[in-house]
Structure 1
Amino acid sequence: MISEPLVSIIVPSYNVEKYVGACVDSVLKQEYQNWECILINDGSSDHTLEIIKSFETKDRRFQVFTQENAGLSATRNRGIEISNGDFLFFLDSDDILSSDAISTLVSSVDNNDIVTGITVTSKITGDIISKISPLYPPKEGDITFANNHFEVLTKAMESALTPVAQNRLYSKEFIDKNNLRFKNGILHEDELWFFETMLLAKNVKFVNHETYFYRTDNENSITSKLSDRNLESYISVLEEVYEKYIKKQNLDIAKWYNVYLKKLFLDFAIREREKLSDEVIRKLEKSLAKTYSDLPSQTYLSPKNEAYYRAMNKLTLKSFDQIKKYYVRNPVNSLRKRFKLFQITYLLK
């Protein structure tokens, strides 16, 4: 391994004049020095471009590009194409890095395709970062998965791992060898990216150290402005996984993970039902049926979780109203939840 590999930090930027200065300043303050920062203005109508161009004059490691609005996926993909680094790192333009973020991740590279630090949800006011909570790191702390048997995807299904693209150091060789790119034209592209990268990666390292602060107080983020398009994007992810990895490749792990995705997306639809139209709920019902597959006898899960996922798989064939009535979150840790699983498995027609 190169002792000080070049890290390409990719920062897509769209109408973030309130936040992007602090974000890019956290790159400038990195203890690790061998980086390039690719700042892409994605058709902003505010002062974002002026702000990021000011950093280009401060340090030659910043490169500024501008384009007509194309969306986050296309902008990240352009960053991948432009990059010269041995490793890639995606940074959202309203978030903040710890000063030792890149040095921490690089020091753990070894022969890993992906290295991840801990992301902490935070409120950020000037130089003050008020931490809220970490985003589902592995409970084991520092851990490396050989990932020969889809251990990372299994860990996500068993105990949740946050399916995001940012705050991970990706080997550029791994990304290019597998021709990995973000799906254009959708929101929540990270859910698909997480599945595809963790499906193919070997040696995935999780570092028990806070490296990334995820801003929760951006009123313009996609999680703050929910609409039918959010659920339509989730449907697109479901259908992509089904068509590419179940229908064409017949991958057992994809069949199990498909149920996990349905669980996540149903949880969203049930929670946000009042903000969603009847039409998009009908689209969801059709997609759940279209992407259904029988689960194989081979399982990657513990017996308790296997029973849960088999029940959820059966439930996805029902109407949304029935799903809402019987749906339970994992873990199944109460008599009420156990009874609902029993009803789904044995009584629900």
Structure 2
Amino acid sequence: MQADKDLISVGIPFFNAEKFLSKAIESVISQSYDKWELLLLDDGSNDGSLKIAKGFEQQDNRIKVFSDGKNKGLGARLNELATLSNGEYIARMDADDIMHPKRLETQLQILKDNPNIDVLGTNAYVIDENDSVFGMRYRENSGMTKVEHFIHPTIMAKKQWFLDNPYDEKAIRIEDAELWFRTKSKSNFRMISEPLLFYREFGSCYYPKYIKVIPSLIYLNNKYPLNKFWIRVLVTSSIAVPTYWFFEVILKNEALKERRNKILFKQKKHYREYI
């Protein structure tokens, strides 16, 4: 099927995201660019997420909900997104994040002006569970930079790129890093330093996330045997488990988690103050 030119397919896979899903959807509806479709892909939620999604579907014919009752994982849902979408472009987003109102307009114009770019990402503000901005992932500077990886929910690319480069569904919780690794040598990756997404980070314990990714890293070390990059990631992630456990459980300190962000603000402000 021929993709609809200039139509952006925004894809939000969700699993038990009832607390934040409405705000994510509302931020798409509030975009300055209005030629979009929003695909909401339920990954077997058992909370009120699906009901929320269907409620928005009834209110706006640009919103489509897909649900098969199964829990397939993010990689599988993102691959489905590429086949289900009708737009020439696909924009990623997570179910607990919030788009800046000019995100779609800005990224689309850059991609149209620079057709040699394969995947375009942006910088992001970091917000907590109360929608307060406490930092920025990268420092903001002028222009656009060549990169080898992205803040996953900020990316936009042509639908065909995603069809040609599917996610490895076995790389659970690290499917994006595997995709960038596999495609960076043949793709033009660019990122603008302007923060166009409010990326949510909260929770007191970070070390369980490293525990859950270890099996996928073992899988990727078998997929890419003796590869220095994946060996290094496996080693550093294994070291991170006891390190984060010590800081978070014993010292009750979240300093290591905060170091993920290049800029930390002295005072928290509601995200609306950055729009």
Same fold (TM over 0.5): yes
Letter in 2 for 1:90: R
Q: How has the CA–CA distance of structure 1 residues 224 and 215 changed in structure 2, closer, same or farther, with 3 Å as cutoff?
A: farther
Task: State whether residues 123 and 132 of structure 1, in contact with CA within 8 Å, keep that contact through their aligned partners in structure 2.
Answer: no
Task: State whether residues 207 and 242 of structure 2, in contact with CA within 8 Å, keep that contact through their aligned partners in structure 1.
Answer: no
Q: Which residue of 2 aligns with 1:199?
A: 185
The Cα shift of 1:165 comes to 2.9
The Cα shift of 1:218 comes to 5.7
1:31-71 alpha-carbon deviations (Å, 9 max, x no partner): 11111110011110100000011111121111001021111
Q: Distance in 2 between matches of 1:89 and 1:241?
A: 29
SS of residue paired to 1:200: coil
Q: Distance in 1 between matches of 2:207 and 2:49?
A: 20
Q: How has the CA–CA distance of structure 1 residues 99 and 131 changed in structure 2, closer, same or farther, with 3 Å as cutoff?
A: farther
The Cα shift of 1:116 comes to 1.3
Q: How has the CA–CA distance of structure 1 residues 218 and 98 changed in structure 2, closer, same or farther, with 3 Å as cutoff?
A: farther
SS of residue paired to 1:273: helix
Q: Which residue of 2 aligns with 1:326?
A: none
The Cα shift of 1:262 comes to 2.9
1:231-260 alpha-carbon deviations (Å, 9 max, x no partner): 111222333334xxxxxxxxxxxx8xx423
Q: Distance in 1 between matches of 2:207 and 2:35?
A: 35
Q: Which residue of 2 aligns with 1:115?
A: 120
Q: Distance in 2 between matches of 1:224 and 1:51?
A: 31
Which has more strand, going by share of residues?
Answer: 2
The Cα shift of 1:181 comes to 1.1
Structure 2, unaligned stretches of length 5 or more?
246-275
Q: Which residue of 2 aligns with 1:83?
A: 85
Q: Distance in 2 between matches of 1:168 and 1:34?
A: 18
Letter in 1 for 2:153: Q
SS of residue paired to 1:192: helix
Q: Does residue 212 of the first structure (1) align with residue 197 of the second (2)?
A: yes
Please report the TM-score for the alignment, with normalisation by the length of structure 1: 0.62
Task: State whether residues 10 and 37 of structure 2, in contact with CA within 8 Å, keep that contact through their aligned partners in structure 1.
Answer: yes
Q: Distance in 1 between matches of 2:203 and 2:58?
A: 27
Q: Distance in 1 between matches of 2:20 and 2:209?
A: 21
Q: How has the CA–CA distance of structure 1 residues 75 and 175 changed in structure 2, closer, same or farther, with 3 Å as cutoff?
A: closer
Which aligned pairs between 1:1-349 and structure 2 lie closer than 5 A? Answer: 5-67=6-68, 68-109=70-111, 110-111=114-115, 112-125=117-130, 128-134=131-137, 136=138, 141-143=142-144, 145=146, 152-153=147-148, 161=149, 163-176=150-163, 179-185=164-170, 186-202=172-188, 204-217=189-202, 225-226=208-209, 228-242=211-225, 258-273=227-242
The Cα shift of 1:208 comes to 2.3
Which has more helix, going by share of residues?
Answer: 1
Structure 1, unaligned stretches of length 5 or more?
146-151, 154-160, 243-254, 277-349
The Cα shift of 1:133 comes to 2.4
Q: Distance in 1 between matches of 2:207 and 2:239?
A: 17
Q: Distance in 2 between matches of 1:83 and 1:133?
A: 31
Letter in 2 for 1:180: N
Q: Distance in 2 between matches of 1:69 and 1:191?
A: 21
Letter in 2 for 1:190: D
Q: Distance in 2 between matches of 1:197 and 1:58?
A: 38
SS of residue paired to 1:6: strand
Letter in 2 for 1:208: S
Q: Distance in 2 between matches of 1:275 and 1:208?
A: 29
Q: Distance in 1 between matches of 2:127 and 2:38?
A: 23
The Cα shift of 1:141 comes to 4.2
Who wins on radius of gyration, i.e. which is larger? Answer: 1
Structure with greater contact order relative to length (CA < 8 Å, sep ≥ 6): 2
Task: State whether residues 208 and 241 of structure 2, in contact with CA within 8 Å, keep that contact through their aligned partners in structure 1.
Answer: no
Task: State whether residues 164 and 191 of structure 1, in contact with CA within 8 Å, keep that contact through their aligned partners in structure 2.
Answer: no
C-alpha RMSD of the superposition? 2.7
Letter in 2 for 1:191: A
Task: State whether residues 165 and 194 of structure 1, in contact with CA within 8 Å, keep that contact through their aligned partners in structure 2.
Answer: no
Work out the percentage of aligned pairs sharing the same amino acid.
24
